[in-house]
Homo-oligomer: A and B are copies of this chain.
Amino acid sequence: MSLKYAMLGFIDMMPLTGYDLKKMFDSSVKYYWTATHSQIYRTLDEMKKEGLIKEELVHQTDLPNKKLYHITAKGKEQLTKWVKEPTELPPVRHELLVQLSWADRLPNNQIIARLENYKLKIEERLNMYEQENNNKFAHMSRTPRERFLWESILKNGIMSYKAELKWVNDTIKGLKNL
């Protein structure tokens, strides 16, 4: 569901190809949703069948032909409806915590090594978010409120990785003092 509407919102800003969408997912959308190109092309087909978008074939001479997708009236309507809908909190699935839950079978240094590796990955991710701060995504915003919303999305990621980082530091410290 989310993927469909994540895509539809962009197509509503301007007509786009699957290729364009993939680039957007890799640059900015990745801060709140991820997708591969195979998923994007499949989802575009479904959206076309549902009448949310329509296809325009664009013939090019020196570049491969492409399919530009435009939003339909039905598409706009459905998007507006969807953004209002209450959703459930996602099911919790935290692989590192599963590992920690049975980590007592390891010597302390191996548990700590595992946590240090996790910490490194969180730090990398956090850097990526913070470098985005004066950001691609805010400069495309159509209104000040949209700009505020997009900045809030980025902040959500930053605060959540910061909290995770603090937790992992505390946990490492706790293990060392045990």
Contact = CB atoms under 8 A, between A and B. Distances in A.
Interface of A: 1-2, 5-6, 8-9, 12, 30-34, 79-80, 82-106, 108, 110-111, 113-114, 117-118, 121-122, 125, 142-146, 148-150, 152-153, 155-157, 159-160, 162-164, 166-167, 170-171, 174-175, 178
A114 B84 contact: yes
Q: 7 smallest A-B Cβ distances: which pairs?
A: A32-B97, A9-B102, A163-B163, A104-B146, A34-B91, A2-B98, A83-B99
A149 B108 CA distance: 11
Nearest to A160: B163
A145 B112 CA distance: 13
Contact of A101 (B6, B84, B95, B106): B6
Contact of A148 (B33, B93, B99, B175): B175
A156 B101 contact: no
A5 to B, nearest CB: 6
A61 B13 CA distance: 66
A163 B159 contact: yes
A160 to B, nearest CB: 6
Nearest to A113: B84
Given A167-B155, A175-B148, A110 B95 contact: no
A2 B95 contact: yes
Contacts of A144: 178
A171 B100 CA distance: 33
A90 B95 contact: yes
